[in-house]
Amino acid sequence: MRVISYNLRKHRAAGELVDLVEGHAADVLCLQECDTTDMPEEIGGLRLADSTQRNRLGLAVYYRANTFRPVEVRALALKKSLHDYVLKPAEERLLGVRLHDIDHGRDIIVASFHAAPLTALNSLRRHQIRTALAELENLGEGLPALMVGDYNYPVFKEYLGQKVRAQGYELTLSDARTYTRYRFFRGHYDFATSYLFDIEHIRTLPQGSSDHLPILVTAEVSSGRAAAVA
């Protein structure tokens, strides 16, 4: 499965999506900071599963319809930062989709996530991540899950990784930094947390008109899980 995650920087990079999806043969597309009132039903052969409705800057998930069938969708508001209370950019910071893999006859969970900005504390973002991962269980307990997006967590990721592993998930970074706008804040912002997925690699794609670079996650359900299902 090939999943692209992209923070569009207030929808500015929306025009790049068709080329991204088609150029990298993506199966799933997870977006952050998109104008959900201006998102098409299809992008490069991928179909819209759903998008958030209460956000000024929203989330959206697209899937390949000849590979997957959506079973359930869940959007969630997470603990708010001061930035959220004042500017109200994002009421819902998690969009999870349970997909049925048609060829393999099993369900998986894919989610788009957008953590609070750098004006918030790392402790609040850890709370958001912990809550988001726990919420994905409600879409299907024990199912393979992959949550990608903008984690806004450029430093102390080792500590975050420990906390994520304590929940049974793995944290995986891409092969190059994903944010370049400000000199002193450059680093890995966009990455993945996964459960029962083998992550082959996460590649940072070339920069477009967003201050975030898109990432391409190549993953498959872990062999132990596949054997158990069979």
More confident residue, 203 or 78: 203
Q: What is the pLDDT of residue 24?
A: 98
Measured between alpha carbons, how far is 110 from 35 in angstroms, rounded to an integer? 20
Confidence of residue 176 (pLDDT cuts 50, 70, 90): very high
Over residues 70-93, mean pLDDT: 73
More confident residue, 227 or 49: 49
List CB contacts of 147: < 8 A, sequence separation 6 or more: 94, 96, 110, 111, 112, 113, 132, 133, 136, 192, 193, 194
Q: What is the pLDDT of residue 69?
A: 98
Measured between alpha carbons, how far is 149 from 170 in angstroms, rounded to an integer? 14
Domain count, the chain: 1
Q: What is the CATH number of the domain that holds 128?
A: 3.60.10.10
Select from 58, 2, 54 the least CA-distant residue to 27: 2
Q: Which domain holds residue 190?
A: 2-229
Lowest mean pLDDT among 62-66, 86-90, 167-171, 193-197: 86-90
% pLDDT > 90, the chain: 79
Measured between alpha carbons, how far is 205 from 36 in angstroms, rounded to an integer? 23
Whether 86 shows a pLDDT value over 60: the answer reads: no
Whether 87 shows a pLDDT value over 80: the answer reads: no
Write down the mean pLDDT value for the chain: 91
List CB contacts of 218: < 8 A, sequence separation 6 or more: 1, 2, 199, 200, 201, 202, 203
pLDDT (tens digit, 9 = 90+) per residue, 153-173?
988 889 999 999 999 999 999
Phi, psi of 170 (to 5 degrees): -115, 140
List CB contacts of 181: < 8 A, sequence separation 6 or more: 211
Whether 34 shows a pLDDT value over 90: the answer reads: yes
List CB contacts of 200: < 8 A, sequence separation 6 or more: 218, 219, 220
Measured between alpha carbons, how far is 185 from 183 in angstroms, rounded to an integer? 6
Whether 84 shows a pLDDT value over 80: the answer reads: no
pLDDT (tens digit, 9 = 90+) per residue, 91-142?
789 999 999 999 999 999 999 999 988 888 899 999 999 999 999 999 999 9
Strand 215-221 and strand 42-43: the pairing is unpaired
